[in-house]
Amino acid sequence: MASSSFPGSSAATATPAAQAVAQRSAGQRLWRRAKGLLQWLVMLSITLLGLLAITFYIGRMVPIDPVLAVVGDRATPDIYNAAKEAMGLDKPLWQQFAMYVRDVLHGNLGTSILTSNPVWEDIKRVFPATLELATLATILGVLVGVPLGVAAAVRHNKLTDHVARFVSLIGSSMPVFWLGMMGLMLFYAKLGWLPGPGRIDPVYDGMVTEVTGSLLIDSALAGEWDVLGDALWHIALPTLILSYFSVAYLSRMTRAFMLEQLSQEYIITARAKGVPEWRVVWGHAFRNIAVPLLTVIALTYGNLLEGSVLTEIVFSWPGIGSYLTGALMNADMSAILGSTLVIGTVFVVINLLTDVLYAVFDPRARRKT
C-alpha cells in the first residue's frame, strides 16, 4: 500500500509544478508578443514623425512662396502680411512644424489652391484609382514573374533562362513613359484594339454611385456590367505597361532566390532519393524562398503605388500621380505636401507590415521575437 501510494503522491505534487511552468512559459510568450507589438508601434511612430519632418522642411526649402500662391503677386503688402499671419508663417519654424503635426493628426492637410477642396478630400477621391492600377499590376506581375523566375532557375543557361533574363533586362532599362506612348500608338491609334487614355468612357460618367472609390468594385456592386466592362477595357493597357516592370523585377529576384536554393545539399539529396522534380522545385526549393519573396512582392507593390506617376500622366489616369503632377505645375504646396506625405506613409506602412509578415511566416523569426 505504501509503495503504491508513493507514485500517486509524487504525481500529485508534480502536476501543480508543471502547470506553473506552463503558465510561466505562456506568460513569457505573451510578454514577448506584447513587447514586439509595442516596439513595432514605436518604430512606426518615429518613422512617421521623421517623414512628417522631412516633408515639412522640404516644403519650406522649395523656392515657392505659399502666401503668394494664395493671394497672388498683385496683392498689397497688408493683404500679404494678413495672409501670412493667418497661415502661421510668421511664427518660428519649430512652431510652424508643431502646428503642421497637429493639423496632420487631425486629418487637416490644408486646402488645395487648384481645386479649392481640402487636400485630404482630394486624395481620398484620387488615391483609389492609383490603388486599383497598382494592385492589378502587382497581381499580374506575381502571376507571370514568379513562375517565369522559377522556370529560368530550373532551366539555368537554357532557352527559358535566356528569355527570362532578356525580359528582365528590357523591363529594367526601358522608360515607362516611352513604353506607354508606344502602347497607345500601337493598340489604340493604329490597331484600335484598346480604348484611349482615361479611366472610363465619358458616356458612363456618373452612372455608378461611389462607395469604395474603386470603379471596378463599385460598378460590380451596383450591377452595372457595361460600366465594369468599359472600366476593365480602359485599365487593361496601363496595367500591362506597369506590370511589365514588376514582372521584370520579380522574375529576376525569383530566379536568384531559386538558383541559390537549387544548389543546396538538401536539394541534391532529395533528387538522389528519387523525389519527383516538381516536388523538389515547388515543395522544397520554392517553399524556402516564399518568405523573402513575399517581402520582395510587398516592396514591389509599394514601389508601384508611388512610382505610377508617369504611367498615370501618359494614360490620363486620374490617380494621385496625376494629382501630384498638377499640384507641382501650379505651385500648390498643400497638395504637394499632402500627396507626398500620404505616399510616403503608405510605403512606410507596407515596409513595416512586411517585417511583421516575415515574422509570422518564418518560424526562425518568431523564435527571435
Residue 229 CA to residue 218 CA, distance in Å, equals 12
Residue 22 CA to residue 77 CA, distance in Å, equals 75
pLDDT (mean) for 56-65: 74
Which residues lie closer than 8 Å to 281 by C-beta, 6 or more apart?
A: 150, 154, 258, 262
Look at residue 111 and give its three-state secondary structure: strand
**Domains plus CATH for the chain?**
66-105 (no CATH), 119-368 (1.10.3720.10)
Reference 353, options 290, 304, 306, 301; nearest CA is 301
- The cell for 223 is 450591377
Q: How many other CB atoms are there within 10 angstroms of residue 328's CB atom?
A: 16
Average pLDDT, the chain: 81
| pLDDT value at residue 113 | 80
pLDDT 10s digits, 267-308: 888 888 888 888 888 888 898 888 889 888 988 888 888 767
pTM score: 0.78
| pLDDT value at residue 176 | 80
Look at residue 158 and give its three-state secondary structure: coil
pLDDT (mean) for 315-344: 84
| pLDDT value at residue 336 | 84
